Structures are given as C-alpha cells and as structure tokens.
Amino acid sequence: MNIDRNLRKERIGIVTSNKMQKSIIISEVKRTKHPMYGKYVLKTKKYTAHDEKDECNVGDTVKIMETRPLSKTKNWRLVEIIERAK
C-alpha cells in the first residue's frame, strides 16, 4: 500500500480574524442549490489555520492546506496569500 502525501485538502477563503498569535480564522463561502426549492443558498464554513509569520490581515484571500492537528481546533496551515486586502 503506497499512500501519497499529496492527497491533502486545500481550501481558498477570506481571513476574518487575525487577533491570535500565529493563528488566523478563514471563512469559506459556498453557493449550494436548495434540494427542494432550487434557490441558491450561501453556506459559510470557518477554519482555524496556522500562520507562522503572522503575515495575514483581515480581508486577505488565502489558500490553506490540511495538516496534522496543531491544537484542539487547528489542523490547517497557510500555503499562500493569493490577494491582499485593499
């Protein structure tokens, strides 16, 4: 059995909080269709991610990757900052 390390999940979202040391909160917004009524509904999921250099600000668009558990709620890490907040 050869298990690849490359099968880690990646998400793109917007930083909503950076008040913690070396940690950020990212919100990922998905548009899903309601199963019965067909209307598109916005679903928001929050992730706590590790930001080693404390370089993210609120409003930045970032890419995060799944990793081993770093704390009770933190098992994602920052990969790159895609776009800075204006």
Bridge partners of 11, per DSSP, are: 64
pTM of the model: 0.83
Q: How far is CA 51 from the centre of its chain?
A: 11
CA atoms within 13 A on the CB side of 4: 4
What's the one-letter identity of residue 40?
Y
In the chain, what percentage of residues exceed pLDDT 70?
93
pLDDT tens-digit map of 15-47: 999 999 999 999 999 999 999 999 999 999 999
DSSP character at residue 71? S
Place of tokens 């940690």: 23
